[in-house]
Amino acid sequence: MHQPESTHGQHPLGQRPLGVAMIGYAFMGKAHSHAWRNVASYFDVPAFEQRALAGRDPDGVAAAAKRYGWAESCTDWRSIIARDDIDIVDICAPGFLHAEIAIAALDAGKHVLVEKPLANTLAEAEAMAAAAHRAQSRGVQSMIGFNYRRVPALALARELITEGRLGTIRHVRAAYLQDWLVDPETPMTWRLNKDTAGSGALGDIASHAIDQVLFLLADRVTEASGRLHTFTSHRPGARGLEEVTVDDAAWAMLTLASGAIASIEASRVATGQKNSLKLEIYGDKGSLLFDLENLNELGFLDATLPVREQGFRRILVNEPEHPYIGAWWPPGHVIGWEHTFTHEIRDFLVAVDAGTQPSPSFEDGLAVQRVLAAVEQSAATKSLVVQLDDFHTSAATADLSEGA
C-alpha cells in the first residue's frame, strides 16, 4: 500500500483504454466520479475513459454527466451492460438494485465495483457472491466499496496489528454516529424504507464498522447479538406522514474466531455527531485509537514500554512512508474523506489490469451481510446469541444466481 508519487500508466500500443460506466449519480455517484476524474493524476493506473453515466431522471443524469466528466448519459442501465465498449460498471444505485445490476453485469463479462452494503438481503448477497465466483473464473473481477479500508491511518493500523505491535487483540469498540435524522420533521427518503434500503443505520453505517473489525483483525465473526430501534416512526413524505420501516440506531456484540470481542454501535440520531466513526482496538501489548473526523491521525499506545513511558501518542499519518500518502502532497499536508474513494478506484483498476482479485471481494461483503442478518435476527427474536454458522447459502439463491 506504500504508493510512490506517479503519473498515468500506459497500456501496450494498440490496446484501447478501459471503458467505464457508472450507474447512479447522487451522493455516492458524486464521490465516485470525483475519484474517477482524479485517480490518474496521482497514481499509476491503466488507461481508462469515463464513457457513460446512467440514472432514472434524463435531465438530472445529463446534467450530472456534464458536471462530473462522463462522456454521455442514459436512463437504461441495461443498455450500458450490452455495450462492447464498456469494460467496468461502477454501481452507486440504491441497495435494492445492487443484485440485479451486478449479476447482469458480471454475467455479461463486465468488471464490477459496487457500493456497500453488498445487497439488501442475505439471499441477494449470496447470489452476488456466486455470480462473482463464476465471473472470476473467466477473469472478470469484482469489488465492494468499503472505502474506509483506504483511509491511510486505518491501513497503517492494519499493518501495526499484522506486525504484532498490539499482541493478542482482546476487544474492539466501534461506534459510527451521525445526527441527520435527529429532527422528526426530516422528510422521508429511500434510505428510510426497508424495501429500498434493506435496513437503516445497521446496513448504512454499522456495515462500515463491522467491516473495519474484520479488516483490521483479519478475523471472522462466529456469534452475534443485537438490538435495533426506531425513534421516529413516521416522517413527512409525498403522501403525507409515511411510516419509517428501518432502524434509526443499532447495537451489536460480536464474538470473533480468535476469541476477541467487538462491540458495535451505530446511530443516525446522535445529536452533534456529524460523521464520526470511532474505533478502539485493545491488545495485550498495545492499543490503537481512531476517529474518522480526524482521519489523518492514529493514536498508538505501546504497552511493552516501561509504565512510566506509556501513553497514547499521536501519529500524524501523512508521511510518504505511510499507506497511499506518497502519491499526494509534501509531509504535513493532510488529505480528506474524498481521497479514500480515489485510493479505492486506484486499487480496483490495478487489480483489474493485473487480473487479480480486488479486495474487499464480494465474499468479504457477504461476510458482513451475514453479520447484519444475524444482528437483525437477534433483534427480532430477542435472542441473546445467534450463531453465524447458521447463515449459509439459502435455497432462494439458486434462482437469483442465474441472473435477474
Query: What integer pLDDT is reported at residue 128 of this predicted model?
Result: 98
Q: In this predicted model, what pLDDT tens digit does every residue of 294-305 receive, in sequence order? A: 999 999 999 999
Cα–Cα distance measured from residue 41 to residue 69, given in angstroms and rounded to the nearest whole number: 14
Q: In this predicted model, what pLDDT tens digit does every residue of 188-217 receive, in sequence order? A: 999 999 999 999 999 999 999 999 999 999
Query: What integer pLDDT is reported at residue 391 of this predicted model?
Result: 66
pLDDT at residue 400 is higher than 60: no
Q: In this predicted model, what pLDDT tens digit does every residue of 216-268 receive, in sequence order? A: 999 999 999 999 999 999 999 999 999 999 999 999 999 999 999 999 999 99
Query: What integer pLDDT is reported at residue 384 of this predicted model?
Result: 87
Spatial CA neighbour of 352 closest among 16, 33, 45:
45
pLDDT at residue 182 is higher than 80: yes
Largest CA distance in the chain: 66
pLDDT at residue 12 is higher than 60: no
Cα–Cα distance measured from residue 208 to residue 201, given in angstroms and rounded to the nearest whole number: 10
pLDDT at residue 120 is higher than 60: yes
Query: What is the percentage of the chain residues whose pLDDT exceeds 90?
Result: 92
Cα–Cα distance measured from residue 99 to residue 399, given in angstroms and rounded to the nearest whole number: 12
Q: Are 323 and 152 in contact (CB under 8 A)?
A: yes
The pLDDT confidence band at residue 15, using thresholds 50, 70 and 90, is confident
Identify the residue whose cell numbers are 457513460: 52
Query: Which residues neighbour 217 within 8 Å (Cβ) at sequence distance 6 or greater?
Result: 161, 169, 172, 256, 258, 260, 281
The amino acid present at 352, given as its one-letter code, is: V
Query: What integer pLDDT is reported at residue 1 of this predicted model?
Result: 52
The pLDDT confidence band at residue 398, using thresholds 50, 70 and 90, is very low
Residue 133: Cβ within 10 Å count: 15
Burial of 38 (0-12, 13-18, 19+ CB in 10 A): middle
In the chain, what are the domain boundaries?
151-317
Average pLDDT over the chain, rounded to an integer: 93
pLDDT at residue 399 is higher than 60: no
Residue 167: Cβ within 10 Å count: 15
Query: What integer pLDDT is reported at residue 94 of this predicted model?
Result: 95
Query: What integer pLDDT is reported at residue 9 of this predicted model?
Result: 40
Of 268-272, 328-332, 346-350, 393-397, the one with minimum mean pLDDT is 393-397
Question: 151-317 is classed in which CATH architecture?
Answer: 2-Layer Sandwich (3.30)
Cα 268 to chain center, whole Å? 17
Q: In this predicted model, what pLDDT tens digit does every residue of 29-81 receive, in sequence order? A: 999 999 999 999 999 999 999 999 999 999 999 999 999 999 999 999 999 99
Q: In this predicted model, what pLDDT tens digit does every residue of 133-180 receive, in sequence order? A: 999 999 999 999 999 999 999 999 999 999 999 999 999 999 999 999
